[in-house]
Structure 1
C-alpha cells in the first residue's frame, strides 16, 4: 500500500522530530536551571538576622547600608557551583534556580563559617611576638600558612588573638538574584 503525500509529510515531520529530540538539540527545560558545575553570576546582599547588611554586590545597597567602599567594584559575583568557592549553604541554595529568579537564603552557622570556637582565642606575650610596635585591637595578622588572627585585646604584657572567622557562629541571610548561568 502506497502512502499519500499528506502521510509522507506527517511521517517526515515525526521522523525529524524524533531525530532532534534524541540528539539533544531541543531544550528539555533543565538546561536553564543551576546545576553543580555551572558557572553563575549572582547579585547578593548578605545580612544578619537583625537586618544589618554586612556585604553586597549592589552599589546602591552598599551606600544605603553605610558599608560602601570606593575602592571596591560592585558587580555580580561569578562562581562555579560546587567548586568550594562559596559557603556550603549558598552553594546548595542556588541549585535549581532559574535565570532572573530571586531568592532569600537563611544559612545556619554550620553551613556558613562554623560555630564560634572559644578554643581559637589565644593570649600571647608581647615579648614572644618581638614586634617593634604594639598591636591594636582589630588589627589582623596572618600566619605563613594563611591563617588569620584578629587582635581582640591588648594590655601591657599580652595580646589576645581570635582566629575564628568574623562571621563564625552567625546565621546569615542572603537575598540573591541569579543573573546568568553558563
Structure 2
C-alpha cells in the first residue's frame, strides 16, 4: 500500500536532488545501488530437513569446517585457495576483492578490475553479513557466502514508498534519480505522474538475499 504525503513525516521534509543511483555494498550511509535486473520467479522453499545446519561459532578459524553450514546467520557455500598468514579478525584492516549476485544469478556489484575495498572488520562500515564473511579468512582464500536480508539491507518496508504532490517537489526530477530528504534520508524516484512524485526510501536491495564471492588481498 502506498503511503500518501500527508501521512508520512518524511514527506514533510524538503527533497534535495542528487545524481543517478550507483552500486555500493557498504552500510546505510552509502548511496543505494542501481536497480538490479528483474528477479526470476522464486523457487519453492526447501523442506526443513534440507536447510543447512546451524554451525557452532568457531571464532576466527575453522572456516573449512563450516562449508555447507550456517555460521552466525550466513551460509558458507565454499572456500577455495591456499590461505597464507593469520586469519582476519575484528579490528584488522583488509583490502577486499568481491563480487555480489542475487538469487537469480544477476550481478549487482563487483570491484573486479578496480580498487580494493578497504574494510576494518567489525567497524560497521559494511553490512553485517559481509563483516561476518571476512572473519577467519586468510590471504589467498576465496569464500562464497549467502547473506539473508536481515544481515544485508533488511526487509522492504512499504511505508517508505512515499507519494509527494508535484507542487511540493523541485523541478527537473526524473525517474531513477536519487533524492535526499532534508533529514538525510535517501530515496529513489520510481514514478512521476501529473499529480505526484513517488519516492522509494527503501534500500534498493532491501528484501534480497545476497551471494558474495570474497577474497582478502591485503591484511594489516
Fold-level similarity (TM above 0.5): yes
Q: Residue 179 of structure 2 corresponds to which residue in structure 1?
A: 141
Q: Residue 146 of structure 2 corresponds to which residue in structure 1?
A: 106
- Shift, 1:104, TM fit: 0.3
Q: Residue 190 of structure 2 corresponds to which residue in structure 1?
A: 152
Q: Residue 44 of structure 1 corresponds to which residue in structure 2?
A: 98
Residue 205 of structure 2, aligned match among 146, 161, 167? 167
SS in 2 for 1:43: strand
Q: Residue 171 of structure 2 corresponds to which residue in structure 1?
A: 132
SS in 2 for 1:37: coil
1:1-150 matches, within 5 Å, as 32-59=86-113, 74-129=114-169, 131-133=170-172, 135-150=173-188
- Shift, 1:105, TM fit: 1.3
Structure number with the higher helix fraction is 1
Looking at structure 2, the residues matched to 124 and 142 of structure 1 have their Cα atoms a distance apart, in angstroms, of: 13
Q: Residue 21 of structure 1 corresponds to which residue in structure 2?
A: none
- Shift, 1:177, TM fit: 1.1
Looking at structure 2, the residues matched to 151 and 113 of structure 1 have their Cα atoms a distance apart, in angstroms, of: 19
- Shift, 1:145, TM fit: 3.1
- Shift, 1:139, TM fit: 1.2
Q: Residue 43 of structure 2 corresponds to which residue in structure 1?
A: none
For the aligned residue pairs, the C-alpha RMSD in angstroms reads: 1.2
- Shift, 1:46, TM fit: 0.7
Looking at structure 2, the residues matched to 122 and 132 of structure 1 have their Cα atoms a distance apart, in angstroms, of: 18
Cα deviation code 1:112-148 (max 9, x no counterpart): 000011010010100122x233x22111111233211
Q: Residue 29 of structure 2 corresponds to which residue in structure 1?
A: none
Q: Please give the TM-score of this superposition, normalised by the length of structure 2.
A: 0.59
Q: Which runs of 5+ in 1 are unaligned?
A: 1-30, 60-73
Q: How many residues align?
A: 136
